[in-house]
Amino acid sequence: MIAYATDGRTSDQPRAYRDLYAEMTIELEAAKYANPNPHKSLEVFYAFCKLQEMKTYASRRMYVEELYSDILLDLKRIQKHAPSSRNWAKANDALSDELTPVRAQWLKAKNFIFSSSPDFENSIKESISAIESCLMVLLNDPNGTLGKIIKQAGLDADIERLISQAYGYTSNKAFVRHGGTTASNLTKAEAEFFLEFAATSILYITAKLKNESRNI
């Protein structure tokens, strides 16, 4: 990708890239990751660079290097046997089939906590956003918000209220969901709480809605 978008383009790269992209996607799916690279061909990727006005080689290199950064970070953490959320693996497994794209969002929530420069605010945002994305996909409402579409899910009333309250909590924290000018006092404890809460919520929502869809 870098060669094609900078100064190392050759005629055989598009075909080789398509083959490699397919192999990489299959390997990542086997390892329970979503392919974070949305560009299935080099031509599409280069058109994207132009659309985003990536006019310098440096900006294109940076974009490519960031594409797989979350997966590479998680793999390094696994190699070092670093701790993870108790329900991480279960929730990751639940994000399969049509929910596979949500795995990238879910992985960001984890990496924001355990990276060398943690970002607890964005971790909480991605945790709640992963729940929201699950609902959007399973209820076929890509333009909905958690606060609205959760009412369509038919969840247990008390659990629905808990999830809605979590969404409301993060919405009320301007620096979490919408950016802000005040310093955050959120800590790792809050970020880990919401990561675990999101995992439990994802497991419940997917079990509930997928089972109902199979019974229709």
Q: What is the pLDDT of residues 6-58, one digit of tens each?
A: 988 999 999 999 999 999 999 888 887 888 899 999 999 999 999 999 989 99
Do 117 and 149 belong to one domain? yes
Quick check: 175 and 182 in contact, CB under 8 A? yes
Is 138 found in the same domain as 102? yes
Domain stop point among 67, 97, 124: 67
Q: Which residue pairs, CB below 8 angstroms and at least 24 apart, start in 147-156?
A: 147/171, 153/205, 153/208, 153/209, 154/208, 154/212, 155/204, 155/205, 155/208
Where in the sequence is the domain holding 27, given as residue range(s)?
Answer: 1-67
Whole-structure pTM value? 0.70
Residue (of 186, 192, 200) closest to 83 by Cα position: 192
Domain assignment present for residue 75? The answer is: no
Give the end of a domain, one of 33, 67, 101.
67
Do 53 and 90 share a domain, yes or no? no
Is residue 189, in this structure, part of any structural domain at all?
yes
Using the structure block, give the residue that is written with the tokens 């996607």: 25
**28 and 61 housed in the same domain:** yes
Say if residue 63's pLDDT is above 70.
yes
Res 177 pLDDT > 70:
no
